[in-house]
Amino acid sequence: MTEAPFLPRERLLKHQQHFQTLQKHTYLKGRLDMITSVAIPLALAVSAGALIARGIYNMSHGIGKKE
């Protein structure tokens, strides 16, 4: 008794050929990989930079001190 394949063989071969012909890095070959590999870390870095800049500004001007 054999199991049916997950994908039809023609579709699998089409996907394999598509991924083998791409010139991008391996971790950016999927359709939505750019979001998880680039956009999310970039957004985290930008927000962290903004919070650090705000903290430095507040410390240098003495804003927000507890008395």
State percent of the chain over pLDDT 70: 93
Encode burial over 22-39: b for 16+ CB neighbours within 10 A, e otherwise: eeeeeeeeeeeeeeeeee
Mean pLDDT of 47-55: 97
Q: Does residue 33 contact residue 27 with C-beta atoms inside 8 Å? A: yes
Rg (CA), the chain: 24
Q: Band the pLDDT of 1: cuts 50, 70, 90.
A: low
Residues 47-64, mean pLDDT to the nearest whole number = 95
CA–CA separation, 52 and 40 (whole Å): 18
Residue 32 pLDDT grade (very low, low, confident, very high; cuts 50, 70, 90): confident
pLDDT higher at 58 or 9 = 58
The dihedral built from the CA positions of residue 23, 25, 26 and 31, taken in this order, carries a sign that is: negative
